[in-house]
Amino acid sequence: MLLAVLLCAGLCTGVGAGCSERVVIDPTSPVAGWPAHGGDLGGLRYSPLTQITPANVASLQEVWTYRHGDFSDGSGDVARTSFPVTPIVANDTLYFCTGFMRVIALDPETGAERWTFDPGLRASRGEGPYPLTCRGVTYWEDPEAEDTAVCARRIFHGTRDSELIALDADTGLPCAEFGSEGRVALREGIGDDVPAWEYYPTSPPVVARDVVAIGALVADSLRVDAPAGVVRGFDARTGALRWAWDPVPPGWRSKPSQGGRRYASGTPNVWAPMSADEERGLVFVPTGNPSPDSYGGQRDGIDYYGSSTVALDAETGELVWHFQSVHHDVWDYDVGSQPTLFQIEGVGGGAPAVAQATKMGHVFLLDRETGEPLYPVEERPVPQDGVPGETLSPTQPFPTHPPPLHPTEVTSDSAWGFTPIDEADCREKILRYRSEGIFTPPSLQGSLQYPGSAGGMNWGGVSVDPVRGVLYTNQTRSAAVVQLIPREDFAALDPSSATYPNELYPMTGTPYGVKRFPLLSSFGAPCLAPPWGTLTAVDLATGQVLWESTLGTTRDQAPFPLWFELGAPNLGGSIVTAGGVVFIGATTEKTFRAFDARTGDEIWSRRLPYTANSTPISYRLRPDGRQFVVIAAGGHGWSQPGDAVVAFALPGAR
């Protein structure tokens, strides 16, 4: 009996695990890759695979791990890295990028390395507020090329050196006819005075109608004349510039070009993943807020396209429509998640649609062709009386279907603690700051922001089961304090001394600097009642929440035995499979989880070498093959950097 128990323990891990059950291969069940960042061009994050189910997921085993070694803890003069990448699987190959912008190709079933490409990153020093980050690469097949032609299949990749690179997907060699020996410079027209760390792409480009569209991160809250948030489209074959969408208001009078700047300064940037509708020739662009983030008194209307979902013509870059989820955004509630395209009978009359998740916990369901809301969106009055010089929007849009998914009220009664001591500390802090619910404007005394600027929902976005009509989303529930500091007082502070999550930004060119930090107790825990991380399922037809589960524990943040199931802050996303399983990492602990898509029960978990602040993928490449689930684990700004790509599958075929 003891021997049987030990053998069983060696085969099984996770919540509710029994002895491992070897998978029975059904050659008629679906086969699918993961050819795009969001699973498909529309970002559904849905897999049609059915081999892994709630009944057998407890038998999932680690089948291979690849360690790329391309990471840094930020010591010395080299920048810290993070590894939030979502790999793709196309061309029977798994592709991903590292923090130092290497592109790596693996055998998807064994993890064996096929090729690597090193761009020779120049901007790798430890400058700027962010770690070196690459969220993914993009695959494209040239429909006009011979199958055996060089670069008939390409990988597109944006780097911290602000280059768009095209590689042969079979060999990893640069495509010589693309730009200059496979590279296109993205800094052209951005400005000669812009340091490398202030402007560069972190999310993968998107390809539609043979045009590669790409935006870029612009560092937050540094100055009024920040680099332009322009989105550009390049010919997928030659790298020639096809169009540039400069997000300035209609009729805007651009200032004369100076210092190498061709595009307007301070416009909303596009750092998050885009999506596309190849059939309609549309690219869907999630925009950030204009610079600087927390004070808009000098924007002069340039936030017309800020914090919006924008549809552009893929071939010309012309504006088709836009929908703004925050007016005159001074909360850093930029749209950080990929627009998700779906069409489901019974949702919005069955119209082709876009689901846009936001940091506020709002999900807007929009008509894909017009941008009009599929269900009523209410303009509701919000707090006013900002700092001197500020002019706030009197109302903000609130969705009604689904209604807001994140609580917003913080009062002294909201204070929470493990003991009366830290609860009293939290109550005193809450009373110290201005708190009038969501959209409380930044103030001189300090304002409570709930959700904080990290969300709610963030770049992990949502996953959608188009068959059941259910949307899944993870959220962080933690408040922050935002305080504007008059320029003469800010001059005595040293922004370089602040480390995340305690932030200090100059907002040069305005009357204020800004200080932002999480609302934590004297014990270092969030001051509001848990759960601090959630996973939620929403019926898209009714708009109602089907279930909400706690996501994460205090493990890896608190010493043993203080590991409580209170939820955890999270960055990264979920996927859902036709087999009825939702997979997600995302939290501040080194754990990968599976949930029953129908009930929200946690049904499997596995420890990882690092936190997995990324989005998993799933694929099955052969009728006689297994379904794999793969996740990148390599930390983010809040956790230890690392380099692991980990694959799971059911035990080998019987």
Q: Which residues are tagged catalytic?
A: 332
Q: Which amino acid is at 271?
A: W
For residue 537, what are its two tokens? 């399922």
Rounded distance, CA 203 to CA 207, Å? Answer: 13
- Tell me how many degrees the CA angle 299-303-304 measures, rounded to the nearest 5: 130
| 8 Å CB contact between 150 and 175 | yes
Rounded distance, CA 275 to CA 252, Å? Answer: 27
Helix (H) / strand (E) element for 573: namely none
| 8 Å CB contact between 603 and 596 | yes
Q: Render 89-112 in DSSP notation, one character per residue.
A: EETTEEEEE-TT--EEEE-TTT--
Rounded distance, CA 577 to CA 547, Å? Answer: 17
Q: How many CB atoms lie within 10 A of CB 183?
A: 19
For residue 128, what are its two tokens? 């700027």
3-state secondary structure 139-203: EEECCCCCCCCCCCEEEEEECCCCEEEEEECCCCCECCCCCECCEEECCCCCCCCCCHHHEECCC
Rounded distance, CA 496 to CA 444, Å? Answer: 21
| 8 Å CB contact between 457 and 572 | no
Q: Which amino acid is at 631?
A: I
For residue 444, what are its two tokens? 């001189």
In total, the chain counts a number of residues equal to: 654
For residue 422, what are its two tokens? 């830290």
| 8 Å CB contact between 370 and 321 | yes
Strands annotated E in 169-318: 183-185, 199-200, 206-208, 211-214, 217-218, 231-235, 241-245, 275-277, 282-286, 308-313
Eight-class DSSP state of 129: S
| 8 Å CB contact between 457 and 473 | yes
Rounded distance, CA 470 to CA 459, Å? Answer: 19
| 8 Å CB contact between 248 and 262 | no
Rounded distance, CA 449 to CA 4, Å? Answer: 54
| 8 Å CB contact between 610 and 641 | yes
Nearest alpha carbon to residue 571 among 612, 533, 532, 613: 613
For residue 626, what are its two tokens? 């297994």
Q: What is the dihedral of CA 430, 434, 435, 438, to 10 degrees?
A: -130
Rounded distance, CA 281 to CA 303, Å? Answer: 26
Rounded distance, CA 291 to CA 333, Å? Answer: 13
234: three-class secondary structure by DSSP = strand
Eight-class DSSP state of 605: E
